[in-house]
Amino acid sequence: MPWLVDEMAIAPEAIHKQVMQVPGVMNCHDIASRGLLGRQVFIDMHLVVEPTDVEKAHEITEEIEARLEQLYGPARITIHIEPYGYRSRKITY
């Protein structure tokens, strides 16, 4: 049933709750998921992190991926990282 693929797999609030528990995460928004829970889910999100270096920011994404996969099974996770202060700088334009 191909239409099932476009259905939301996991409540964004549930993902948000998990992500916010990871140290270094300041904000998480635009969360979406689709796929079949327990088979293969696709999750994407925007993330505001405290560290400004790529290595530390990447570590945070690894931690998020591990947590979500442990909870929801096989998942392909795409994380769009925004540095801390990005949103407030954007507002001034």
Residues lying near Zn ion in the complex (CB under 5 A) are found at 46
Nearer to Zn ion, 45 or 75 (CB): 45
CA distance 80 to 71: 21
How many other CB atoms sit within 10 Å of the CB of residue 85?
Answer: 12
Half-sphere exposure (CA, 13 Å, Cβ side) for 33? 22
Question: In whole angstroms, how close is the CB of 87 to Zn ion at the nearest point?
Answer: 8
Nearer to Zn ion, 7 or 30 (CB): 30
Residue nearest to Zn ion (CB): 46
Nearer to Zn ion, 31 or 75 (CB): 31
